[in-house]
A and B are shown apart, each in its own frame.
Chain A
Amino acid sequence: NAGVTQTPKFQVLKTGQSMTLQCAQDMNHEYMSWYRQDPGMGLRLIHYSVGAGITDQGEVPNGYNVSRSTTEDFPLRLLSAAPSQTSVYFCASSYRYSNQPQHFGDGTRLSIL
């Protein structure tokens, strides 16, 4: 059972570079989301999607873009990396709604120099 798969697991970027964090789930879940986790801040919602072709902003969307062309994939794009985006990023999915238990990927640890 793959569940939620995130790649890469680790990444170091220079300020101003762009990159895409990949997230894929094989559970046919409609709801997918991206969080960042920083010390003392808890998990904060960046963007979410309630189904293919539908995305919306979370609490901290600035500097990130998402798309949902298929049910399985929900990539997160950093447009121009900044040191403030150094964080651990988690992708999560649930069957249909955000108020159902979320299944998390094992995270991407991103450092911006």
Chain B
Amino acid sequence: RKEVEQDPGPFNVPEGATVAFNCTYSNSASQSFFWYRQDCRKEPKLLMSVYSSGNEDGRFTAQLNRASQYISLLIRDSKLSDSATYLCVVNIKRGGATNKLIFGTGTLLAVQP
């Protein structure tokens, strides 16, 4: 089983739609969680961190479910500019003080006009 799993998509949605992505992780000791956005042939950029209580940034809402070991990203009122690959990222502590960031393979979102 992969340490971080995402549905690769693509998710094709019309403008204005609400879309949600889930990401599951296997290590219950995971400490930090992030969503990154990656445009085609560009570098990943931090979209938002994910906090235990859930957090919102404009049209974007991130939630964490530690019991079921998944995080989610909800995008409301989708814009054409939201089209990108969304990467789920989990920080895992391995042996002593070593922390490693594990990236999911990403979910492709295509917002259609």
Contacts and interface: CB of A to CB of B under 8 A. Distances in A.
Interface residues of B: mostly helix, strand, loop or mixed?
strand
A57 B106 CA distance: 24
Contacts of B103: 35, 42-44
Contacts of B1: none
B34 interface: yes
Chain A contact-residue range equals 20 to 34
Interface residues of B, number: 21
Nearest to B30: A99
Contacts of B32: 99-100
A44 B3 CA distance: 12
B43 A106 contact: yes
Given A99-B31, A102-B46, A104-B43, A45 B105 contact: no
Contact of B43 (A42, A44, A105): A105
18 contacts: A41-B105, A42-B103, A42-B105, A42-B106, A43-B44, A43-B103, A58-B100, A98-B91, A98-B99, A98-B101, A99-B32, A99-B99, A100-B32, A101-B49, A102-B44, A102-B46, A103-B46, A105-B43
Interface of B: 4, 8, 31-32, 34, 42-46, 49, 87, 91, 98-101, 103-106
